[in-house]
Structure 1
Amino acid sequence: MVWFILLFATVGMALISSLLLLDRRMPLYYVQVHVGVMVLPIAAALAGLIFVDHHAAAGLWRSDILAWFMALFILTLGWMIARFCLRYLHGDRAYRKYFSLLTFTVSAAALTWMNNDIRLLVLFWGLPLLGLVQLTRLKREWRPARTAAVRMAMVFSLSWLALFAAGLWLWSATGHWQLSLALSSESIRHLEWWEKTGVNVLLILAAIIPAGQWPFQRWLLESAVTPTPISAVMHAGLVNAGGLLLTRFSLLFSGDVSQMLLLVLASISVLIGTGISFVQVDYKRQLVASTMAQMGLMLIQCALGAYVAAVIHLVLHGLFKATLFLQSGSVVPNPNKTIHRSRNLSKTWLFTGAAAGLAVGVMFWLTSPEENAKLLSALILGWSLAFVWGRIAVFENGRTIGLIVLAGLALASGAVHVSFMKLLHTSVPLFRTSIITEMAAVFILITGGLAGIWFSTHRSSDSFVRLYMWLVHIGEPRSESVESHPHYLAAYLKKERI
């Protein structure tokens, strides 16, 4: 209980500090002090992860490894982005408001997964989404930002209403507001099959909307107008919330037909997101489409009962995607730097990469008997290795160094995976899914991959042209969500002259 009080106290201090920022009498350098205050909740979350009894509940709150680990991850990620904003957003007219809203959004997201009450969970589910909408609206003078904020508010409201309805239905069926009691084996055993399926469908709807999954991907694709740090918060943190929501309610999904519905929607999102990322020329929109595909893979893992793998996926994706967004300015081409590509690409080199990917995938499948959905994990691991090997082969120089780096990253990834598995296995349930469901996921992804290879080798065909134009069409924002020139800057200059 002491560590709960310490965490809430430090989060409260950060929120009070963020309100002080809005007072114009506070000097601007107080922003740096505020970013320092944001370290206090991180220290409290780290202490809680190390010292707290991870199987205790304190009234409306719960203490398990997943809750403390996600609080630590979200708060740390928010602090890193706030540090980046110190210089990146300096001079912006809403400079102080960005830090205030960022603190509110990150704090609410960090506390969401500590709730043991359905009513509080529903409330905290909406708070980070509200904060994200307000962060997007800070550029209200710019029409695309206003349009994106309105679209986000509409779909996020639908997500919140779906979770509200699911929570109300679960309480009505079980008679418990406490999540641990409502999801106990006895409570679930008394649920009718149609009640479980109905609640699960609502939970899936609540989860896939913030994750930008098909058919609700439009808001995510139009969110590229937000400032880069806000995009980092969105794609590294809040879009991951759907996987955590399904993990918390995982006991309801075990053996239910709704798993197949989630599998189909997530698989379609993976294929569409990957296709959009290939046809887009705008770097931020490529990252947005990549997020759509990665969240689809995470939800496929949830559909197969591999919740530990899904949590590991969302954490690593969050760190990776935040880095890509914050470093997006470095992709501007350097005219003085020339990249030499190999003119004679050896087929032996490509075949070796494919064989290495196959060998690693088979080895993982044979040596991980405790891993759930290990066939899908082996496929993703082997395919990723073969793909990266093929990318390295394109360059004329540095192949050996690239392979050494690739091997090092593979070993580091394996070590991180094993460490997280040991850390989370006590608080994240493990279910054995049917081989039919797993084979369905593998079949969909392999079919999509082979279709992509066929289209890439038949670029002059009518089918390729139609597919290409369709992906361009669904990947482009609506006309009111873009502007050839930010006209609000002209209004700023006009006011300055007056």
Structure 2
Amino acid sequence: MIRSLTYVVWLLFAGSLLGGLGLWGSASEAWTAGPLRVDALTLLLAAAVTFVSGIVHAFSLRYMDGDRRIEAFFLRLTALTLVVLLLIAADHLLLFALAWAAMGLLLADVIGHVRAWPQAEAAARLCRRWFAVGTLALATGLAVLALATGETSIQAVVAVAPELSGPVLTLALLPLLAAAAIQSGLFPFHGWLMSSMTAPTPVSAFMHAGLVNAGGILLARFAPAFTAQVEIMTLVFLLGAVSALTGSLLALVQSDVKRGLAASTVAQMGFMVMQCGLGFYAAAMAHLILHGLFKASLFLGAGSAVRRVSPEARKPGLDLAGLAIALPAAVVAGLLFAAVSGKAIWPADSGLLLVVFATLAAAQAGLSLKAWTHVSLELRLIAIPLVLMLAALIYGVAVALAETALSGVPGTTVPQPLGLPELAAAVIFAAGWLFFGAGLHRENRWLYARLLGAGQPLSRTVTDRREAYRV
């Protein structure tokens, strides 16, 4: 049976690709069937979800071999895949809410897969509570929209929502934003995500590559409603910025491999939400897919990353030689990303911030490449700019393709005007990158302890007994 379920998921992936080709070749922007609506966003996300799920299913055939509940594991993993597909295809508010609730219940269940492990059950209970709160928030926001617009179709709701009065729209959007933040593990709701490491590694891979992305999917589906209020968009951006910064800092102080990846997910989900707050929902979907593929590979390979090493001596202070190499290459990479993705630098809108953050990411990557001491300095001087430019080209093409593919989906690319909060966030990120790049957080014991404490999972979900993991 477990191999049959794996084949089913791969067939769903093939169907998603064929559906995408069919929709691209047709004159219609979407296919509807009752409460379901299949558009470009649905097929793009379906292809990404089923591809990752297929890999996770195949990996689990060996990883879970010998597990006493292997059939129950595969049934739940396949059910999760189907529920996510239902969520992204749902065009009825009630169906969307039911799929959201089912996703949370199934995810909590597989996090507590090992029934005889008290820590796993504690993690499952914590997740159930948070997912219940998120579902309640989602239902509240959807109910307000349904009552205010008199519509039950998501497409009809988002078409009418911008015409609603400010207070009513705010009353609907704030609960939806809270639901998205909880599901994506954004700060300060990241506790359930950091405590979910009791899940089997394939579940962690699927969860971090797909299920936490549901928050971004929610924002993208209701994009026209969110972009109708500048204040709400600013709030979305700030929530994402705080999570991106906090998650990055928490990842710096983690000693556990999987927990470090979880903190990285908090940061990446924050960056995805930032893009939504800037009006680039299509770019956020491209980021969602690329991050999902990358994070799935990291989780599935987490076991091979565990090795005994001696602590490295770290010398505080900025690597000035590294900066001299990385920064010019990063600026060139940022400009290339702007040119390929079509983001305006001047006259500036919110696209400028995407270029700034892409440049910072490239600079950090350049510093990492500079540390490859086994490669000669002359070769690094040539290789670093080329590698960064290639990465910028790939990312820019991915964003441009996503924006082109989703051009028929309402509200997926609506650049916002730059304001003081957005500019302040860019300055804070740049200053933070220099501060933490210099390792100054390790010199400040108070700050280091606070970061270490903020990233700790619930104590009931952790054991210090090695043999307990083999239950």
Q: By the TM > 0.5 criterion, same fold?
A: yes
**Structure 2 partner of 1:466:** 446
Aligned residues: 453
Q: Is the 8 A contact 2:6 2:54 kept in 1?
A: yes
Whole-angstrom distance in 2 between the partners of 1:367 and 1:410 = 9
Look up the equivalent residue of 1:308 and give its one-letter code: A
Instruction: Identify which of 308, 318, 321 aligns with 2:282.
Output: 308
The answer to whether structure 1 residue 415 and structure 2 residue 388 are counterparts is no
Cα shift at 1:432 = 2.8
**Structure 2 partner of 1:435:** 418
**Structure 2 partner of 1:273:** 247
Q: Is the 8 A contact 1:141 1:488 kept in 2?
A: no
Residue deviations 1:20-42, cap 9 Å, x none?
A: xxxxxxxxxx4223322322222
The answer to whether structure 1 residue 32 and structure 2 residue 15 are counterparts is no
In structure 2, relative to structure 1, the CA distance for the partners of 1:367 and 1:83 (3 Å cut) is closer
**Structure 2 partner of 1:166:** 141
Cα shift at 1:361 = 2.4
Bigger CA radius of gyration = 1
Cα shift at 1:332 = 2.9
Which consecutive residues of structure 2, in runs of 5 or more, have no partner in the other structure? Answer: none
Cα shift at 1:130 = 1.3
RMSD of the alignment, in Å? 2.7
**Structure 2 partner of 1:295:** 269
Instruction: Identify which of 330, 334, 357 aligns with 1:380.
Output: 357
In structure 2, relative to structure 1, the CA distance for the partners of 1:127 and 1:394 (3 Å cut) is same
In structure 2, relative to structure 1, the CA distance for the partners of 1:346 and 1:288 (3 Å cut) is closer
**Structure 2 partner of 1:426:** 408
**Structure 2 partner of 1:84:** 59
- Secondary structure, in 3 states, of the residue corresponding to 2:374? coil
Q: Is the 8 A contact 1:60 1:116 kept in 2?
A: yes
Matches within 5 A, 1:122-141: 122-141=97-116
In structure 2, relative to structure 1, the CA distance for the partners of 1:369 and 1:298 (3 Å cut) is same
Runs ≥4 in structure 1, deviation > 6 angstroms?
none
Look up the equivalent residue of 1:331 and give its one-letter code: A
Matches within 5 A, 1:63-462: 63-184=38-159, 187-256=160-229, 257-333=231-307, 347-365=320-338, 369=342, 373-398=350-375, 400=379, 403=384, 404-427=386-409, 429=411, 430-436=413-419, 440-451=421-432, 453-454=434-435, 457=438, 459=440
Cα shift at 1:140 = 2.1
Look up the equivalent residue of 1:162 and give its one-letter code: A
Cα shift at 1:415 = 3.1
Could you tell which deviates more after superposition, 359-368 or 480-489?
A: 359-368
The answer to whether structure 1 residue 49 and structure 2 residue 20 are counterparts is yes
Cα shift at 1:392 = 1.4
- Secondary structure, in 3 states, of the residue corresponding to 1:359? helix
- Secondary structure, in 3 states, of the residue corresponding to 1:57? strand
Q: Is the 8 A contact 1:269 1:292 kept in 2?
A: yes
Cα shift at 1:58 = 2.5
- Secondary structure, in 3 states, of the residue corresponding to 1:425? coil
Look up the equivalent residue of 1:471 and give its one-letter code: L
Cα shift at 1:406 = 4.4
Cα shift at 1:67 = 0.8
In structure 2, relative to structure 1, the CA distance for the partners of 1:398 and 1:420 (3 Å cut) is farther
- Secondary structure, in 3 states, of the residue corresponding to 1:38? helix
Whole-angstrom distance in 1 between the partners of 2:422 and 2:30 = 34
| TM-score w.r.t. length of structure 2 | 0.89
Q: Is the 8 A contact 1:267 1:445 kept in 2?
A: no
Whole-angstrom distance in 1 between the partners of 2:389 and 2:168 = 48
Whole-angstrom distance in 1 between the partners of 2:183 and 2:251 = 19
In structure 2, relative to structure 1, the CA distance for the partners of 1:157 and 1:414 (3 Å cut) is same
Look up the equivalent residue of 1:352 and give its one-letter code: I
Whole-angstrom distance in 2 between the partners of 1:107 and 1:461 = 45
Cα shift at 1:62 = 1.0
Cα shift at 1:174 = 0.8
Look up the equivalent residue of 2:55 and give its one-letter code: M
Look up the equivalent residue of 1:394 and give its one-letter code: A
In percent, how many aligned pairs have the same letter?
30
Whole-angstrom distance in 2 between the partners of 1:51 and 1:124 = 26
Cα shift at 1:461 = 9.0
Whole-angstrom distance in 1 between the partners of 2:441 and 2:260 = 24
Cα shift at 1:280 = 0.8
In structure 2, relative to structure 1, the CA distance for the partners of 1:455 and 1:251 (3 Å cut) is closer
The answer to whether structure 1 residue 478 and structure 2 residue 458 are counterparts is yes
Look up the equivalent residue of 1:435 and give its one-letter code: L
In structure 2, relative to structure 1, the CA distance for the partners of 1:416 and 1:259 (3 Å cut) is closer
Which consecutive residues of structure 1, in runs of 5 or more, have no partner in the other structure? Answer: 1-29, 493-498
Whole-angstrom distance in 1 between the partners of 2:391 and 2:440 = 34
Q: Is the 8 A contact 1:145 1:225 kept in 2?
A: yes
Q: Is the 8 A contact 1:301 1:373 kept in 2?
A: no
Whole-angstrom distance in 2 between the partners of 1:60 and 1:300 = 30
Look up the equivalent residue of 1:287 and give its one-letter code: L
**Structure 2 partner of 1:22:** none
In structure 2, relative to structure 1, the CA distance for the partners of 1:102 and 1:162 (3 Å cut) is same
